Amino acid sequence: MYEIMLSLDGEGTKSLYEQIYEYLKDEIRRGKIPCGEKLPSTRMLAEQLDVSRSTAQMAYEQLLSEGYIESVPYKGYFVCEMDELYHLDSAPAMSEENEITETNQYRYDFTPNGIDLEHFPYATWRKLSREVLQDDQKELFHLGDPKGEYALRKAISIYLYQARGVNAQPSQIIIGAGNDYLQMLLSRMLGTEHRIAMETPGYRHAYDIFQRLGYECCTVSMDRYGMDVDELQESGADIAYVMPSHQYPMGIVMPVRRRQELLQWAARKEGRYIIEDDYDSEFRYVGKPIPSLQGSDVCQKVIYIGTFSKSITPSLRISYLVLPAGLLERYEQVGRSFSCTVSRTDQKMLQLFMERGYFERHLNKMRALYKNKHDTLLAELRQMKGIKKIFGERSGVHLLVQMADQRTEQELIACAGQVGIRVYPLSEYCLDDREYETTIILGYAAMKEEEIHTAAGLLIRSWGEGTAADAERTQLRPDDKQCCVDWSGQ
């Protein structure tokens, strides 16, 4: 019988039974105690090590439950047979992996993806969170409806009807953690045997996601009314992804006639769908918001996708689908199994935020703020020499600018970079190989009004005075969007 050579440490952080268990496990793993070997009985082990019998028992129990030893009735404990063991002994190679943070080398960033967080309703959100995280709200901590909570879906349904002309029963609404997730979920309902037509220039991220989900994607160009329906027809696509209320990034508002043509295209063939991405239609500074395409859809062909990323904050991770009748059935068959991806407390907070009128007030406040920023930027740009065209104004949170000279987007970006300003090329949004006119995108949501003022002033001087040659000299790595242009001291 195997002899145990172990001195226990009564003062250590490990309990006695753990020390015995680890010693024996180690001996077994190293082959010091061979397979089939009988171990001392718990009574003998206890005596030998001068511990209580229950301590010995606990050590054996642990070895038993992990499968190192087995207990044979009336015979005792034996080491199990096992194949050569992999070794786990070495400490984990927890190398000091550090967070990679992108350092922003720019003084001003005209990102089209920003939002104004200075005016996020932190206090209201804290108040709602305090209210929701109460012991008497226990039901919120159980798993909820896969579609999302009914009360939130109802609040969204009312909002969508009033603000966007969307006809949606709460039962048609599916809440999910972001558009990417909802595209994923949608792919389960639609299947991937479809060809999806996307507007170009368009929303590259959605295009990438569809491709990664296994869809064949094609691009359809736009005229000034939006997606070209004849080209769509020829493309062989059966799903059209459009942003009719405010196309991203071109800012086109699709007029009624084109909408009708698009709906007719969808109605002409079984299985065709239009995905209407209505990502930022809340922000329109002239006139009333443009009603949704979904509201004119009598043939149940429109899948509407909305989000609170622009209207509240992208970190909230709450988006929603409004499904037409046919897909709602498919959802019940294949989609319902997927648990909702948004926590119930977050859903409840958003529901209260909407029901109590905070959302409406927030939207009105943000619309006014964004309008001021929009007006400031527009007024500045109108003073710029050499500008050919400004478009995409009046709604959303970005403008597009074309210069009259021959500079490329990369040259203009480099010029701006020289004075510490980051601007964005339209080419990033071009999903095909066609040539597009040099266009720069200027997002203004995340900047303060005075920053817009200063940054636009710098931009005017830079673009107005700089030349293509200057730009080339300082353009270190033209294709690298992260390229760091040193503006210090300028």
Contacting a copy of itself within 421-480 (CB under 8 A)? none
Report 227-266 residues binding a copy of itself (CB under 8 A): 253-261, 263-264
Mask: binding to a copy of itself, 345-384, rule CB under 8 A, as x and -? xx--------------------------------------
Q: Which helix (H) or strand (E) holds 196?
A: strand 195-200
Span of 4-12, 93-101, 370-378, 468-476 interacting with a copy of itself by CB under 8 A: 93-101
Per DSSP bridges, beta strands 398-403 and 387-391 are antiparallel
Span of 290-298, 320-328, 358-366, 419-427 interacting with a copy of itself by CB under 8 A: 290-298
Neighbours of 168 (CB within 10 A): 25
Of these, 13, 36, 75, 88, which contacts a copy of itself (CB under 8 A)?
Answer: 88
Overall size of the chain counted in residues: 490
Compute the least distance from the CB of residue 309 to a copy of itself, in Å.
8
Report 384-413 residues binding a copy of itself (CB under 8 A): 394
Of these, 112, 148, 178, 249, which contacts a copy of itself (CB under 8 A)?
Answer: 178
Report 205-224 residues binding a copy of itself (CB under 8 A): 205, 208-209, 212-213
Task: Establish if 129 lies at the interface with a copy of itself (CB under 8 A).
Answer: yes
Span of 283-291, 371-379, 408-416, 471-479 interacting with a copy of itself by CB under 8 A: 283-291
Of these, 2, 4, 18, 487, which contacts a copy of itself (CB under 8 A)?
Answer: 18
340 contacts 144 by C-beta, under 8 angstroms: yes
* Residue that is written with structure tokens 């964004």 in the block: 370
Task: Establish if 287 lies at the interface with a copy of itself (CB under 8 A).
Answer: yes
Span of 45-53, 120-128, 367-375, 408-416 interacting with a copy of itself by CB under 8 A: 120-128
Report 31-70 residues binding a copy of itself (CB under 8 A): 58, 61-62, 65-68
349 contacts 132 by C-beta, under 8 angstroms: yes
Compute the least distance from the CB of residue 460 to a copy of itself, in Å.
28
d(CA 269, CA 288): 33
d(CA 195, CA 240): 9
Span of 43-51, 78-86, 426-434, 447-455 interacting with a copy of itself by CB under 8 A: 78-86
Compute the least distance from the CB of residue 480 to a copy of itself, in Å.
18
Of these, 334, 363, 387, 483, which contacts a copy of itself (CB under 8 A)?
Answer: 334
Task: Establish if 81 lies at the interface with a copy of itself (CB under 8 A).
Answer: yes
C-alpha dist (Å) from residue 57 to 24, 28, 53, 154: 13, 17, 6, 59
For 379-391, letters b (16+ CB in 10 Å) and e give: ebbeebeebeebe
Report 151-170 residues binding a copy of itself (CB under 8 A): 151, 157, 161, 165, 167, 169-170
Burial class (CB in 10 A: 0-12, 13-18, 19+), 196: buried
Of these, 144, 396, 417, 425, which contacts a copy of itself (CB under 8 A)?
Answer: 144
321 contacts 303 by C-beta, under 8 angstroms: yes
Compute the least distance from the CB of residue 277 to a copy of itself, in Å.
15
Strand order across the 216-223 sheet: 173-176, 319-322, 302-307, 273-277, 239-242, 195-200, 216-223, 226-227
Burial class (CB in 10 A: 0-12, 13-18, 19+), 278: buried
Of 46 and 263, nearer to a copy of itself (C-beta) is 263
C-alpha dist (Å) from residue 382 to 413, 446, 452: 19, 21, 14
The torsion region of residue 396 among left (phi > 0), alpha (psi -120 to 50) and beta comes to left
338 contacts 182 by C-beta, under 8 angstroms: no
Report 311-330 residues binding a copy of itself (CB under 8 A): 313-317
